[in-house]
Amino acid sequence: MNSHRCITLNEYPFRECLEKDEYLAWLRTEYTHKSAEERRMAADFAYHSSIADRLFDNAMERAGQTRLREQHWPGGVVALAIDPLFSPALLTVGSIEYQLARKDEAMNLFLALTTLPADEMDLPTIIDKAGDFLLGEKDYHRARELYTAAIKAFPSVAVFHGGLSYTLSKLGLLEEAVASARRASDLEPENYQHLNDLGWTLCQAGYLEEARAILEKAVRLAPTDYDLARNNLKELQKAQERG
């Protein structure tokens, strides 16, 4: 089934594409009546097969061959039409919406991730990727909103407290950042990355003696190829020597 007129995400947000494009509308209706497992399997196939197709087509182009096909909709869009709760597609389409300057649409999709069940595969990683995306865009207020919602939904996930701490530090809210970093470290006390983040946040907030003890612990626990804690400890030592 094909649309009479090809529309794109450049023209309309995803929610409107679902209404205006016959193929996407058909997918949403067709899979609404199927089981959650069937929706998930179909969405996963659409999402990952499109990645494989793109890699193959890129290889063909590098070899001087023409692409075998033109796909109108990205795999993430097709997957989200099939299953509105498919977390990788929520992340992908949300990122596209944001890059097309539809930031509210993007946030609706990102925040939908925080409403998914706790046993959703790789959910903390996917939510954190959405947060990293917003941080990469220097959109610290929306990143704060996302991490706050994630913590409300999943208060025992340390990475969300760590992400919120970094966001708060970027907003200049260092005392709040320290509190969030402490929570992340309390949840995973042997995690050298959380310890490093806590130590550096304490350093930024002016708590140099405590920061040093925390960073020294992070260095002890970190593998030999993790340089960040050692580098941060050196910077702190230089700051203390300067007075």
How far is 157 from 85, CA to CA, in rounded Å?
Answer: 20
SS3 state at 177: helix
Burial 77-87 (b: 16+ CB within 10 A, else e): bbbbbbbbbbb
Q: In this structure, what DSSP letter does residue 4 have?
A: S
For residue 91, how far is the Cα from the chain centroid?
Answer: 7
CATH code of domain 180-243? 1.25.40.10
pLDDT at site 69: 43
- In the 8-state DSSP scheme, what is residue 154? -
pLDDT value of position 68? 42
DSSP string, 51-112: HHHHHHHHHHHHTTPPPS---SS-HHHHHHHH-TT-HHHHHHHHHHHHHTT-HHHHHHHHHH
Per residue of the chain (243 residues), what is the pLDDT tens digit? 444 457 889 999 999 999 999 999 999 999 999 999 999 999 999 998 865 455 445 544 555 644 444 457 889 999 999 999 999 999 999 999 999 999 999 999 999 999 999 999 899 999 999 999 999 999 999 999 999 999 999 999 999 999 999 999 999 999 999 999 999 999 999 999 999 999 999 999 999 999 999 999 999 999 999 999 999 999 999 888 886
CATH 1.25.40.10 placement within the chain: 180-243
Question: What pLDDT score was predicted for residue 71?
Answer: 52
Angle between helices 158-170 and 192-205 (to 10 degrees): 30
pLDDT at 67: 47
Cβ contacts of residue 6 below 8 Å, gap of 6+? 72
pLDDT at 58: 53
Cα diameter, the chain: 72
